[in-house]
Structure 1
Amino acid sequence: MCGRYAATADPDELIEAFEVEVDATAETSRSVLVNPQSPPAGTPDYNMAPSKMAPVALTRVPRAAAGEQTAETDPVRQLRLLTWGLVPAWAKDPKVGLRMINARAESLLEKPAFAKAAAARRCLVPAEGWFEWQASPVARDAKGKPRKQPFFMHRGDGDQLGLAGLYEFWRDKSAADDDPAAWVVSFTIITTAAEEGLDRVHDRQPLVLERSLWQDWLDPTLTDPDEVRAMLDSPGPGRFEAYPVSTAVNATRNNGPHLLERLPDDLLEGVVNPATGEVLG
């Protein structure tokens, strides 16, 4: 966790929801994908997976275009397309990002891969919700292993989620100085212990920040570890709802609004209701 989520809003909606000042989604950075991204980066994606480029909100000083001067010195809130899977600046190969799609809140400030980014390169990952797979306590699959049922988690009030994240810049030293594709700009999603109810699906969940914390979380001048640590506490249970969805989400090639449709109870087999603990099917 978190290994899949739904990023269903378009850039215009995100610019309004996250009070973005600069739309930087057109800025060039390198993709780590072998094949073209589908759906294209920056368009609604109902099955966002690691290595894809996703919309991310962050605050930093805008970069001047090649050959241009800028008098801008104050950081501004931007919307950018970043690669999911953090690639630290010191990494020898961007493939390391596949092992860093998540960062645990409990050890965030101590891990060398995340500590510097936690101090000054924090971001928000917009999402409608996230997917997680529940291992059945009673049902088995064809291989005799616990049957896994995908669930979709979202805010009960329907509000946009701001998942706490970190971002980094990695440069391919073999590329030319003026090659914009030399840079991989990547992010990771911070996870924490799952709240009551959601822990019946999985023991971890993304850290979802309340809007009241967005300004401080994105502030690159807020670098005190204790202040950062204080924002890593979950506000407690009650914000989210979870319901089962089709196993179509298991395959990353599948996409579309149908992936978020609730699976009827009569199609469930050995599934634990997150709210009640009752075994269904």
Structure 2
Amino acid sequence: MCGRYVMAKAIGDLVAEAEAEADANLELRQSWNIAPTTDVPVVLERLIDEQVHRQVHVAKWGLVPGWAKDPAVGVRAFNARSETVIEKPTFRAAIKARRCAVPAEGYYEWLAAETPKGKKRPFYVHPEDDSLIFFAGLYEWWKDPSKEDGDPDQWLLSTSILTCPSLAPDSSVPVLQDLHGLHDRLPIPMSKDSMAEWLDPTNKDAEALVAMVRAGAYDVAAGWKLREVGAEVGNVRNNGPELTEPHSGLF
């Protein structure tokens, strides 16, 4: 699963690496401790005048489907299980037509305690080459019925990150073994090619797209590294590059 992650790169770097467009007024807040319900960047493609445009937007992390009566449902929908995403009411409309990529520099995962009284140990997972991760995601627009037409806050853009089992078909790769030992779920990362297919708004074959990103996730994750970090990351009020620094102890 993915419950905390890092995205501190400048908007220009994100736009360049995502090969996307961004509004000149787009503002992204650097964060080394992003938690659900906060604002995050997303990359999506839209058809404008029959031309596909790849864009960067800001969305709330926690998907709010269009039929929801209250945006609070997003608190429980920051991750979507790839095995059930096509059938789940919360996600089944978005998976067909509103797919996005959620960029991250890395994410945190907690290793379960070895004893009932032990403490969970946080690890920072990130690409070895320090490139961005682009997680397979979904997005939705929710209209606030309490707002008048024309109100800039009338529409809420929200997102969710897809996950898959962390046990890879070829678990002989050391980092994949470590990832599975860390947690039984993996946020699905995409290669450049699979991201292009995933974002394509003209492709409606949700089942094939989900199978594609799941199959390619482990090849991308094989290029990651893990390092133990300090317990400070467990508090969302803590936010700074020091959170990703190595902590004593080995995985």
Q: Distance between the aligned counterparts of 1:166 and 1:205, measured in 2? A: 16
TM (norm. structure 2) is: 0.90
SS in 2 for 1:200: helix
Runs of 4+ in 1 over 4 A off after TM superposition: none
Match of 1:218 in 2: 199
What runs of 5+ residues in structure 1 fail to find an aligned partner?
Answer: 28-40, 63-71, 266-270, 274-281
Cα distance, 1:51 vs structure 2: 1.0
Structure 1 residue 18 corresponds to structure 2 residue 18? yes
Q: Distance between the aligned counterparts of 1:200 and 1:230, measured in 2? A: 23
**1:120 maps to amino acid:** A
Match of 1:33 in 2: none
Q: Distance between the aligned counterparts of 1:24 and 1:196, measured in 2? A: 41
- Given that residues 151 and 244 in structure 1 are in contact (C-alpha distance below 8 angstroms), is that contact kept between their aligned partners in structure 2? yes
**1:161 maps to amino acid:** I
Match of 1:107 in 2: 84
Cα distance, 1:156 vs structure 2: 2.1
Structure 1 residue 208 corresponds to structure 2 residue 209? no
Question: How well do the aligned residues superpose, as a CA RMSD in angstroms?
Answer: 1.7
SS in 2 for 1:15: helix
Match of 1:149 in 2: 121
Bigger helix share: 2
Cα distance, 1:248 vs structure 2: 0.8
Cα distance, 1:257 vs structure 2: 0.6
Q: Which of 49, 52, 63 is equivalent to 2:38?
A: 52
Residues 1-281 of structure 1 correspond to what in structure 2 (within 5 A)? 1-21=1-21, 23-24=22-23, 26=25, 42-61=28-47, 72-138=49-115, 144=117, 146-194=118-166, 195-235=176-216, 236=218, 238-265=222-249, 273=251
- Given that residues 118 and 228 in structure 1 are in contact (C-alpha distance below 8 angstroms), is that contact kept between their aligned partners in structure 2? no
CA displacement 1:47-98 (0-9 Å, x = unmatched): 0111111111101145xxxxxxxxx342310001100000000001001100
Aligned residues: 239
Q: Distance between the aligned counterparts of 1:193 and 1:172, measured in 2? A: 35
Cα distance, 1:196 vs structure 2: 2.5
- Given that residues 25 and 55 in structure 1 are in contact (C-alpha distance below 8 angstroms), is that contact kept between their aligned partners in structure 2? no
**2:239 maps to amino acid:** N
**1:253 maps to amino acid:** R
- Given that residues 148 and 154 in structure 2 are in contact (C-alpha distance below 8 angstroms), is that contact kept between their aligned partners in structure 1? yes
Identity of aligned residues (%): 39
What runs of 5+ residues in structure 2 fail to find an aligned partner?
Answer: 167-175
TM (norm. structure 1) is: 0.81
Cα distance, 1:125 vs structure 2: 0.6
Task: Indicate the structure (1 or 2) with the bigger Cα radius of gyration.
Answer: 1
CA displacement 1:88-130 (0-9 Å, x = unmatched): 0000100110000000011111112111111111111110110
Cα distance, 1:221 vs structure 2: 0.5
Cα distance, 1:200 vs structure 2: 1.3
